Structure 1
Amino acid sequence: MDCRVVVEAAVPVYDVETPDEAVRIAISKTGGMLNPDLSYVEIEMGSRSSPAGEELEPAFIVADEALVALELEMTVFNVEREEHAARIARKEIGQRLENIPLDVLEIEVLESGDEAEDDDDVATDEDTRDENASSGDDSSGGNDGDDDLLPEFDELLEE
C-alpha cells in the first residue's frame, strides 16, 4: 500500500517584519535542509486557527522573530499500515529538520497502491485494464515484457 503523508512543521525564522516574508524565508530554509536528499517532499504554507475557529496567519511574529507553520507532504511506498507510513515520514523528514517539531496532520491511502496489492503480481492500472479486457496473455505486445519482469522482481523480494 502507498500513502501520502502530510506533516506539520513549526519552523523558526529570525529578523522578519511581515508574515509573508517569514513564510518565504521558512520555505526556503526548509527546502535547503531537505534538499538534495528529500527533494521529493512538497513544502507548502500551513494553516492556523484560533480556539474560536478564526483563521490566522501561518506565521506568528514577536520581536522580529517568527514561528511559521508549514505543511510537508511526501509519498511513502510499500507500507503495511497507515501508522507505518506516518512513522517513516516523520523519521525521514525529522532527520533533516533538527530541532523542528513535527506533527502528522493527514494520511491518505493512494488508490494505485491498493490495486497493485490486490493483484498477484505488481501491475500498473493500464496492465490491469488490459488483463481484464482480454484473457489472452499475448494480446498486448508492450506490456508482456513488463509483466514477465515484475514477477521475477517479486520472487527476489520473497527470497
Structure 2
Amino acid sequence: MDCRVVVEAAVPVYDVSTPDEAVRIAISKTGEMLNPDLNYVEISMGTRTSPSGEELEPAFIVADEALVALELEMDVFNVEREEHASRIARKEIGQRLRNIPLDVLTVEVLEDDEEEDGDDEGDEDRETTENASDDATDEEDDVLPEFDDLLE
C-alpha cells in the first residue's frame, strides 16, 4: 500500500516584521534543511484557525519573531497500514528538522495505477496475461501426469 502523508510543522523564524516575510523565510529555511536528502517533500503554507473558527494568518509574530505553520507532504511506499506510513513520514522529516514540532494531519491511501487505468488497453493486457497463465496451467497439467508416473 502507498500513502500520501501531510505533516504540520511549527517553524520558528527570527527578525521578521510581516507574516508574508515570515512564511517566505520559513519555507526557504525548511527547504534547506530537507534538501538534498528529501527533495521530494512538498512544502506549502499551513492553515490556522481560531477556537471560534476564524481563519488566521499562517504566521504568529511577536517581538520580530514568528512561529510559522507549514504543511509538508510526502508519499510513502510499501507500507502495511496508514499508521505505519505516518510513523515513517514523521521519522524521515523529523530527522532533518531538528527541534521543530511535527504533527500528522492526514494520511491518504493512494490508488494503484492499474485501478485508475480504465481504458481498453489495460483490459487487453489483463486478458493476455490471463491467457498466458491458462497456457502455463495446461503445460503444468501435461507435466504433472508424468511426474505422478515417476512417483508410482
TM bracket (short chain): 0.7 to 0.9
Scaled by the length of structure 2, the TM-score of the pair is 0.79
Shift in alpha-carbon separation, 1:48–1:9, aligned structure 2, 3 A: same
Aligned counterpart, 1:54: 54
Question: Is the 1:9–1:71 Cα contact (8 Å) retained in structure 2?
Answer: yes
State the distance in 2 between where 1:40 and 1:92 align. Answer: 12
Give the greater-gyration-radius structure (CA): 2
Shift in alpha-carbon separation, 1:114–1:48, aligned structure 2, 3 A: farther
Aligned counterpart, 2:83: 83
Once superposed, what is the RMSD of the aligned Cα atoms? 2.1
Which 10-residue stretch deviates more, 28-37 or 104-113?
104-113
Structure 1: unaligned runs, 5 residues or longer: 116-123, 138-159
- Matched ranges for 1:1-159 at <5 A: 1-112=1-112, 125=117, 129-134=123-128, 135-137=130-132
Shift in Å at residue 133 of structure 1? 4.6
**Number of matched residues?**
129
Question: Is the 2:114–2:122 Cα contact (8 Å) retained in structure 1?
Answer: no
Structure 2: unaligned runs, 5 residues or longer: 133-152
Which whole-Å deviations, capped at 9, do the CAs of 1:63-98 have from their partners, x for residues lacking one? 000000000000000000000000000000000000
Question: Once superposed, which parts of structure 1, at least 4 consecutive aligned residues long, lie more than 2 Å away?
Answer: 124-137
Which whole-Å deviations, capped at 9, do the CAs of 1:104-140 have from their partners, x for residues lacking one? 000000001795xxxxxxxx95885333354444xxx
